[in-house]
Amino acid sequence: MSVPQQRIGGLVAHARRLAGVAKDACLRLIGRYAPGQRQAPEAPEPIDYGPPAQIPDGRRVYAVGDVHGRADLLAALLKQLQADALVGEYKGQPILIFLGDYVDRGLQSREVIDLLMGELVSPFETYFLKGNHEAAMLQFLREPSAGPRWAEYGGAETLASYGVRTPRSRVAGEEWAAASADLARVLPAEHLRFLSRLQVSVRLGDYLFVHAGVRPGVGIDQQTEYDLLWIRDDFLNDNRPLGVTVVHGHTPATRPYKDARRVGLDTGAYISGRLTAARFEHDSIEFLSTGAALESKAATGT
């Protein structure tokens, strides 16, 4: 049976109406983005981060990223910083801040701590911050059950640097307890004092120096130690003003990073061969590095 002509006409009219609606929608979409058609969506208002951050007047400050058991790189960088500190004019002793993660991953953790307490840092006024890896090492000394997890992300190399054998099994509780006791026995008293006295942050002028970052939306004076040592994406992916410029390590990148909110100095020394420092004077930041030649500019953002 044939379809009534009237019904066919109705279907055709309906199809034309649908085609017209689709055409209008396409034109509206094109008009949003095509020049000369319609006004493009307004860009978000730029965020006002205020004037550039500044170090206290007349001072010079250096900050060093994550060392991770690379005493060889640390010694080389400290010699560079000593030479750099002889150039230019500034008030008082140059300040040197280490951002944490001295141990783990590299095989020279013990030697790193020796260097941090030695003559190569004596020309500087020094501040040593705690990283999440130092926190994990101290936890293992208190709680041997934390050993398997610590060993997985670099603790095994630290144990080796102190001559302590890492248990093969994750579930060998007695072996982990013995390894913790062995580390406590061979760990020099001055190393334990150094690790136990690490600070979690230093504020100088408009800069806050921490290991990992800060939690956006929380006052600087209300930050938790856990966030200062462990935070990552919630800090890195936010763009709200923080009231300070945060200088941090913890998240490795191929080159240092800077913008109005943060300065990142972890360049993955243990695997890249590049240990990075920053020099802060007035409102300027310059980078120094070991290993392969550092890019003339850091990665930047807005």
- 43-55 burial by CB neighbour count: b if 16+ within 10 A, else e? eeeeeebeeebbb
Q: Which comes out higher in pLDDT, residue 58 or 5? A: 58
Q: What does the alpha-carbon distance between residue 58 and residue 200 come to, in Å, rounded to a whole number?
A: 25
Residues 10-55: tens digit of each pLDDT: 544 544 554 554 545 444 443 444 444 445 556 567 788 889 999 9
Is the full-model pTM beyond 0.85?
Answer: no
Do residues 145 and 103 lie in contact, with contact meaning Cβ atoms separated by under 8 Å?
no
pLDDT tens per residue across span 72-111: 999 999 999 999 999 999 999 999 999 999 999 999 999 9
End-to-end CA distance of the chain: 69
C-beta separation of 151 from 159 below 8 A: yes
Note whether 146 and 132 are within 8 A (CB). no
Per-domain residue ranges of the chain: 1-43, 60-131+198-300
pLDDT tens digits along 154-198 = 999 999 999 999 998 888 899 999 999 999 999 999 999 999 999
Superfamily of domain 60-131+198-300: Metallo-dependent phosphatases (3.60.21.10)
C-beta separation of 124 from 96 below 8 A: yes
Residue 211 belongs to what H/E stretch? none
